Structures are given as structure tokens and as C-alpha cells.
Homo-oligomer: A and B are copies of this chain.
Amino acid sequence: MKKNNKISAFEEKEGIHLTDVSNEASIAKIKNFRKRQPSVASLIQGIRDGDKTALSRAITLVESKNKTHLVQANQIIEACIADKKNTLRIGITGVPGVGKSTFIEVLGKYLTNQGKKVAVLAVDPTSSLSKGSILGDKTRMEVLVRDENAFIRPSPSEDSLGGVARKTRESIILCEAAHFDVILIETVGVGQSETAVHGMVDFFLLLKLAGAGDELQGIKRGIMEMTDTIVINKADGKNKQAANLAKIEFTRALHFYPPKENGWVPKVLQCSALENEGISEVWQTILNFKDATADAIYDKRKYQNKFWLLQTIEDNLKMQFYEDTAIQQQLEQLTTLVMNAKVSPFVAAEQLLALHQKKLK
């Protein structure tokens, strides 16, 4: 057909040709694929055998929005949750460009070389696979991704932080049941995601670059209190001097934050992930933390479990309220009145709660 050749809508069209796909071989292939959809029991067994394909499939069920998948996912989680866990859950945060991927890859390789099994997960509520999540771009961890003892999984493509957090926490349980010793959880630090990651790890690591001037400028509120260790990355070549100054500055800064309940004094380290320098010191610090806080880690996990129970309840109660269409109409209007001091926030709240109550009944 020539370019710009117009065809009338009344013109007779060709029929649709059947393609050759409905042959015996194709049918057998599809049937075979269907048969291979594994049962819950076989997935659980696969996870316990350390089979990465089974682990991957189970996480896919956890991440699915399909109700049947969710029932299956819950069955798998329930089976795996009580498995013994002498593991380390490490949260890693830092702004884009700080070198998180390289750092995680080098730390991961360092650990697999010691015979450890390492899982890498991510919490990044704004990204999906295609939207430039660091872990989504798997090619950036080319070496680790081919490592038999490593398992890398990008952030679930879910809009809400609550959803991503839940799926990541359940993935941790599955990875641990599959005998992964160290779980590295990355976050790019969008919104409240550091708090979510802090609420699911034993150790929280902040990756920084040596800056020029006030080192605290780029740090969000609350991060310094959460951090167990600051690692200044790219401390190599001409950055070395700035990294030394940054180390002094951060060490001083940490001194001005209230002490941690578990007695741990946060450390400041330097490394060059690119040059593979300082990684063993980072790992040694994490081991020192584990030794120093010993039982505190398991207590912390207990309280993290409780936190997620209550957090999930409260998030859902709020969601039910704010997704109530009757509420939405009134809320916007009342918020404006409340903000401009025309209506008391407490009176407005009472009105909205009464409306929601009526709807539920």
C-alpha cells in the first residue's frame, strides 16, 4: 500500500487469516506450561531447598493483586514465618548518585566470597521496573546478579508505601526461609521510605558523599537518629581529603544526637566501592553491632512485628475513611474552612466521623 493512499470505510476488508500457532507443538507447550505452575506445597519445599526459582515465584505471588495468588501467598508466608532466622537485615539508604548499586554489589560479592548467601531487596514506592529504580536496572549489578549465592529482586511496582513495605517485609521472610544469611534492603529515600525500611531491618546504614561545606545540608530530618553507621563512599583519589573532613564533621554531628536505647554508638566509615576499599571495615562494623547488641536485635524484631501489626491496622482504618466518597466531598470543603479558622478542627472532625459512622452501618 502506497503512502497517503486513502481507503474508503465502505471498502471491503480482507478476512483475518488464522496463524499457524494452533499446531500440536504449540498446544503441548501451553499445556506443559500450565502444568508447571507449581503448587503451594511445592513452592514451600522449593524455598526450603534454597531454590531461587521457587523463591522468585513465591515473591511474585506476594506481589500479585490477584486474590487467589494472595491466598496462596499467605499460606506460603504462614509456613515460612516461623523458620529459624540467624540472619542479618541491613537497610541501606542514600541519595541518587551516591553509589548505592556499586556499594551493594561490592558488599554482596564480599559476602558471597565468604560463602554467605545474600539477598538484595528494595523499597522504592515511586518506581516500577521500568521507571529507573536502581534495582530495576539489574544490569548495574552485573556481577552479583550472576552469582549463585545472590538473589536480587527489584522493588514491587506498587503505588503506596504501605503496600511496598508489606511486600518487602514478606519477601524478607521468604528469603530467610530460603537460607539467605544477609538481606540487604535498599531505599532511594523518597518520602517516608527510610522510616519504613528502618522499621524492618536490624542495622541501618546511610551512604554519603563527601560534600563541599556543610555536610548536614542534604540530610533529611530524622535520618541521623535512625542511622547505625554512616559510610562515606567514593573516598578515593582527589576525594580523599574531603572524605576525611566529612568523617570528622559527621562524627561530631552524631555526638550531638541523643544516645540510642540499645547502647550502640553510631560509627562513621569511609570506603570506595569502585576501588573495593573499606568494604571489610563496613562488614566488621556490622558484625561488631551484632555482637554488641546481641539479644537486642531479636527484641527489636519482635517490636517491629508488633509495629507492623498496629501500623497495618491503622493504615487500613484511615484508608477506609479517606476513600469514603461521602467523606471526600465534605473533607475538602471543611479542610479549607478549618485552615482559615472558620470552623474548629474538632467540630469538623466530629461531623466527618459521624458521617463515616452512618455510612458503615
Contact = CB atoms under 8 A, between A and B. Distances in A.
Interface residues of A, number: 58
The residue in A219, A225, A317, A334 that gathers the most chain B C-beta atoms within 10 A of its C-beta is A317
B253 A305 contact: no
Contact of A316 (B302, B308, B340, B349): B349
Given A302-B339, A344-B173, A313 B352 contact: yes
Interface in A293-325: 301-303, 305-306, 308-309, 312-314, 316-318, 321
A10 interface: no
Identical chains bound together, number = 2
Given A334-B309, A343-B81, A252 B256 contact: yes
B170 A344 contact: yes
A306 B335 contact: yes
B219 A78 contact: no
A81 B342 contact: yes
A191 interface: no
A324 to B, nearest CB: 11
Nearest to A349: B312
A33 interface: no
A82 interface: yes
Contacts of A349: 308-309, 312-313, 316
B317 A318 contact: yes
Contacts of A335: 306, 309
A353 B313 contact: yes
Contact of A343 (B78, B255, B256): B78
A74 to B, nearest CB: 6
Contacts of A173: 344
A216 B258 contact: yes
Contacts of A344: 74, 77-78, 81, 170, 173
The residue in A314, A335, A345, A347 that gathers the most chain B C-beta atoms within 10 A of its C-beta is A345
Q: Please list the 10 inter-chain residue pairs (A to B) with the smallest Cβ-Cβ separation, ordered nearest first.
A: A312-B349, A308-B345, A309-B345, A253-B256, A302-B339, A256-B256, A317-B317, A360-B360, A309-B338, A313-B349
Given A82-B342, A217-B258, A361-B361, 6 more contacts: A170-B344, A221-B225, A252-B252, A308-B345, A308-B346, A316-B349
